[in-house]
Amino acid sequence: MVAQKAKVTIFDVAKASGVSSSAVSYALNGKPGVSDATREKVLQEARKLGWRPNGAAQSLAQSRTRRIGLVLGYDPQLLSVEPYIMRLISGLGSALEERDYSLLIRMSMDDDDDVSILEDWIATGNVDALLLLNLEIGDPRIDLMKANPQMPCLAIADASLTGGLPTLTSDDAGASGTMIRFLASLGHRNIARVAGPEELGHSYIRDAAFSEITTELGIRYRCLHADYTPESGADATKRLLSVTPRPTAIIYDNDVMALAGESVASMKNVSVPDELSIISWDDSFMNVAAHPAITALGRNVLESGRLAAQLMLKLIDGEEVEDVQEPPYELVERDSTGPPPRSKFAAHSQR
Amino acid sequence: MVAQKAKVTIFDVAKASGVSSSAVSYALNGKPGVSDATREKVLQEARKLGWRPNGAAQSLAQSRTRRIGLVLGYDPQLLSVEPYIMRLISGLGSALEERDYSLLIRMSMDDDDDVSILEDWIATGNVDALLLLNLEIGDPRIDLMKANPQMPCLAIADASLTGGLPTLTSDDAGASGTMIRFLASLGHRNIARVAGPEELGHSYIRDAAFSEITTELGIRYRCLHADYTPESGADATKRLLSVTPRPTAIIYDNDVMALAGESVASMKNVSVPDELSIISWDDSFMNVAAHPAITALGRNVLESGRLAAQLMLKLIDGEEVEDVQEPPYELVERDSTGPPPRSKFAAHSQR
């Protein structure tokens, strides 16, 4: 494990072929300037010696790195708590692989770090394009990328947050309506929500949509902001269950908090779905494995990842990219939702 | 988003400084051959113009890419079902960041692909070191890496599987003993296990240890192999619960299957832990969020990732690396384990 073993170079190939190194270079790169016989001979010797193009030299020559950059915020709790990021990476990776691209990941320790990693990539050209996730309102990364249009960049976020950058966007406002109307159709008139962190862009979009639609439908709505962890989801659930009149349905902004909420209900002998309906925003194996299995608003995150990769490859190729919608949310009805409790319980909860 | 904007090159700096490009190169690279005054002037102009070293050119010059390669098997279900990989990536990323290294990820579509991506990295020098995960028995990647000692490589696996490559290893046999002895101390004499895929190296190690230790302690033991998904964990649990005499405790090789198993018990009105104890091998938020919360054998995966990164950086620096143990497993006792059911139930289960 000391110095790297010398690679086979074009000089080795030149020596073996009995021609000059520039002739080898022409031959290997498919350029004119050598006879067909020489080209054939060179390719033969190159194969025999096991010559392979040098990655860095090739990058320089093509000014392509064949890498897409992704900065992940270093919050082990948040990163590992949800299957979302890993699914997105799976989708990205599989689509990039079709073009021999790879994903270059760096971990940012704080917001400043986030920006400085992007600055470094822009300055050094270490990646061909960038993907931005988890945008906050007024995110400094947007200005940075707008000031550097030479670096292709795609954001996964609501288009209202991305200042005109190419965006893969999801219809969170529409999805909020889907869930509220589903619960309303079951008869619920008193709905609560355990949301993600208030400063995240998509929390903001969802908050606005929930207020608006519940007001429009005349439904009582309250919201507590948590941080996606099971502990915060459990705490919020305990508080919501102690309110009078108790909400008859709770929507959780992720699957982990929904599972934690269902456990709190079980501990407090609040029967799901007879006394409380539960919906998870984002579907995963956790909702399937829970008992009762949790109704969820799912979407194909893998497909989002693939789509994001394809859009970035288009940007790299110099094509125009319009804002694109993520695969739509779909409500998967399971056992955790039903009509609200009847008057007997309602009277009980309002005593 | 068309062609890349021309970067500031040393020629631009040369023009602005009124010196030759080789003088600029000497000055910027801190080499002798220019006067102090010229060096000062060049640095000043370079700063003014915003010159940054070109990533690929710098890589060529240093023969370092500052990248660590990781190939992930493309199985969206497996990749997203467990928090393990994402935690490992968090740990790797945070330790690599301290040395300005990044993680280069490619997705392999099948086993052959796995090997050919590694071959490509070895041939092109596109990464400084490689990390191998999820080794199978007789894994072809081991031979490939042994044939290419110039590429630093670390495996996370049981050392018996890695043919002498530097290895970060976990004491799975010891951990198997910890769980069996814990259950034996509670009084269990009939234990089952829902394991991961039989072909995985660490399943094999665990299988051997479980057989040996249960035989030694005179404990009845049976094992069903599943694939880490909730569906497979639920199926195996249903089968185990229909066996007579029914096992009084089930150990699951991951958290997702443990959660699914607990749900099956709840559906079948088998009370946890009064009639059935449940342990998860690998701890996560899911075990905390479940009801009852699930006893688990945990370890600090984040720290494993950090350790793996540090070992790879040592290998890159040409240092010797002995096999290293991962952070130890620790049993976190929660509410899903207790003494086995008393004779009344035992009689019932044997009717």
Q: State ipTM.
A: 0.74
pLDDT at res. B347: 39
Interface of B with A in 168-227 (CB under 8 A): none
pLDDT at res. B346: 45
A257 and A214 co-located in one domain: yes
* Domain-embedded: residue A60: no
8 Å CB contact of B291 and A267: yes
B97 and B194 co-located in one domain: no
Q: What is the band of A56 on the pLDDT scale with cuts at 50, 70, 90?
A: low
pLDDT in tens, A63-80: 688 999 999 987 766 665
Task: Tell me which of A32 and B128 has the higher pLDDT.
Answer: B128
> Which residues are registered as beta bridge partners of B194?
B224, B252
Average pLDDT over residues A205-229: 95
Does the pLDDT of residue A81 top 80, yes or no? no
pLDDT at res. A2: 35
Residues of B with Cβ-Cβ distance to A57 under 8 angstroms: 60
pLDDT in tens, B81-124: 667 888 899 899 999 988 889 999 998 887 778 898 999 898 88
Residues of A with Cβ-Cβ distance to B315 under 8 angstroms: 1
CB contact at 8 A, A180 and A210 = yes
State the average pLDDT for chain A.
Answer: 86
Does the pLDDT of residue A200 top 90, yes or no? no
DSSP one-letter code for B229: S
Question: Helix H segments across A196-247?
Answer: 201-217, 230-241
Residues of A with Cβ-Cβ distance to B2 under 8 angstroms: 318
A1 and A25 co-located in one domain: yes
pLDDT in tens, A286-318: 898 888 999 999 988 889 999 999 999 999 999
Does the pLDDT of residue A348 top 80, yes or no? no
Q: Closest approach of chain B CAs to the CA of A20, in angstroms?
A: 23
Distance CA A214, CA A208 (A): 10
* Domain-embedded: residue B132: yes
Q: Closest approach of chain B CAs to the CA of A124, in angstroms?
A: 5
Distance CA A98, CA A333 (A): 35
8 Å CB contact of B104 and A104: yes
* Domain-embedded: residue A145: yes
Distance CA B312, CA B95 (A): 11
Distance CA B106, CA A324 (A): 25
Question: Helix H segments across A218-351?
Answer: 230-241, 255-267, 285-289, 301-316, 343-349
Which element (helix H / strand E) includes A156? strand A153-156
Closest CA to B29 of B44, B41, B39: B39
Question: Helix H segments across A33-152?
Answer: 36-49, 55-62, 76-81, 84-97, 111-124, 140-146
Residue of A nearest to B105 (CA): A103
* Domain-embedded: residue B96: yes
What three-state secondary structure class fits B256? helix
Q: Does B67 touch chain A (CB under 8 A)?
A: yes
B313 and B289 co-located in one domain: no
Which positions ≥6 away from A111 have C-beta within 8 Å? A140
Task: Tell me which of B199 and A111 has the higher pLDDT.
Answer: B199
pLDDT at res. A80: 59
* Domain-embedded: residue B61: no
Interface of A with B in 144-173 (CB under 8 A): 149-152, 166
B205 and B341 co-located in one domain: yes
CB contact at 8 A, B95 and B309 = yes
| Listed ranges A5-9, B57-61, B186-190; the one with the highest mean pLDDT | B186-190
A176 and A238 co-located in one domain: yes
Q: Closest approach of chain A CAs to the CA of B202, in angstroms?
A: 22
Number of Cβ within 10 Å of residue A98's Cβ equals 13
8 Å CB contact of B291 and A266: yes
Per the structure, how many domains does chain B have?
Answer: 3
Report percent pLDDT > 70 for chain A: 88
Which of A1, A233, A320 comes nearest B149 by C-beta? A1
Work out the burial of residue B11: count CB atoms within 10 Å of its CB; fewer than 13 is exposed, 13-18 middle, 19 or more buried. Answer: exposed
Does the pLDDT of residue B1 top 90, yes or no? no
Does the pLDDT of residue A153 top 90, yes or no? yes
pLDDT at res. A52: 64
Let me know how long chain A is: 351
B222 and B93 co-located in one domain: no
CB contact at 8 A, B241 and B222 = no
Distance CA B314, CA B76 (A): 32
pLDDT at res. B15: 84
8 Å CB contact of A152 and B97: no
Backbone angles phi, psi at B72, to 5 degrees: -105, 135
pLDDT at res. A95: 93
pLDDT in tens, A188-198: 999 999 999 88
Work out the burial of residue B224: count CB atoms within 10 Å of its CB; fewer than 13 is exposed, 13-18 middle, 19 or more buried. Answer: middle
Does the pLDDT of residue A128 top 50, yes or no? yes
CB contact at 8 A, B326 and B299 = yes
8 Å CB contact of B263 and A291: yes
Does the pLDDT of residue A250 top 90, yes or no? yes
Average pLDDT over residues A150-168: 92
Report percent pLDDT > 90 for chain B: 52
8 Å CB contact of A90 and B96: no
Residues of B with Cβ-Cβ distance to A107 under 8 angstroms: 90, 93-94, 96-97
User: What's the token pair of residue A340?
Assistant: 């609200």
* Domain-embedded: residue B314: yes
pLDDT at res. B193: 98
CB contact at 8 A, A146 and A123 = no
* Domain-embedded: residue B120: yes
B186 and B137 co-located in one domain: no
* Domain-embedded: residue B210: yes
Residue B320: give the domain boundaries.
67-169+301-328
What three-state secondary structure class fits B296? strand
Q: Does A291 touch chain B (CB under 8 A)?
A: yes
8 Å CB contact of B285 and A230: yes
Distance CA A67, CA A102 (A): 5
What is the rounded radius of gyration, in angstroms, for the C-alpha atoms of chain B? Answer: 27
B161 CB-side CA count, 13 A: 26
Distance CA B12, CA B22 (A): 12
- Please report where in the chains the tokens 């349905």 appear, as a residue: A249
Backbone angles phi, psi at A49, to 5 degrees: -80, -10
Distance CA B109, CA B87 (A): 22
8 Å CB contact of B74 and A90: yes
Lowest mean pLDDT among A6-15, A38-47, A93-102, A123-132: A6-15
Q: Does A62 touch chain B (CB under 8 A)?
A: no
Does the pLDDT of residue A350 top 60, yes or no? no
pLDDT at res. A21: 73
Does the pLDDT of residue B348 top 50, yes or no? no
Q: What is the band of B158 on the pLDDT scale with cuts at 50, 70, 90?
A: confident
Strands B67-73, B102-108: pairing is: parallel
Interface of B with A in 102-141 (CB under 8 A): 102-109, 120, 123-126
B73 and B32 co-located in one domain: no
Does the pLDDT of residue B320 top 50, yes or no? yes
pLDDT in tens, B7-53: 667 778 888 888 877 777 777 766 667 788 888 888 788 777 876 65
Does the pLDDT of residue B313 top 80, yes or no? yes
8 Å CB contact of B262 and A76: no
Does the pLDDT of residue B2 top 80, yes or no? no
B16: domain CATH number is 1.10.260.40
Q: What is the band of B57 on the pLDDT scale with cuts at 50, 70, 90?
A: low
B164 and B182 co-located in one domain: no
Residues of A with Cβ-Cβ distance to B4 under 8 angstroms: 63, 125, 150-151
Q: Which contacts (CB < 8 Å, 24+ apart) does range A36-41 have?
A: A41/A17
Distance CA B53, CA B195 (A): 51
B209: domain CATH number is 3.40.50.2300
A164 and A177 co-located in one domain: no
Distance CA B136, CA B113 (A): 15
**If phi over 0 gives left and psi between -120 and 50 gives alpha, with beta otherwise, what is residue A163?**
left
Q: Closest approach of chain B CAs to the CA of A56, in angstroms?
A: 5
Residues of B with Cβ-Cβ distance to A1 under 8 angstroms: 149, 152, 166, 315, 318-321
- How many contacts (CB atoms, under 8 Å) link A and B? 221
pLDDT at res. B61: 54
pLDDT in tens, A165-187: 999 998 899 999 999 999 999 99
pLDDT at res. A1: 35
CB contact at 8 A, B275 and A305 = no
B306 and B342 co-located in one domain: no
Distance CA A322, CA A302 (A): 21
Residues of A with Cβ-Cβ distance to B91 under 8 angstroms: 76
Closest CA to A279 of A264, A263, A258: A258
Which of A57, A65, A72 comes nearest B93 by C-beta? A72
Q: Does B270 touch chain A (CB under 8 A)?
A: no
CB contact at 8 A, B113 and B50 = no
State the average pLDDT for chain B.
Answer: 86
Residues of B with Cβ-Cβ distance to A232 under 8 angstroms: none
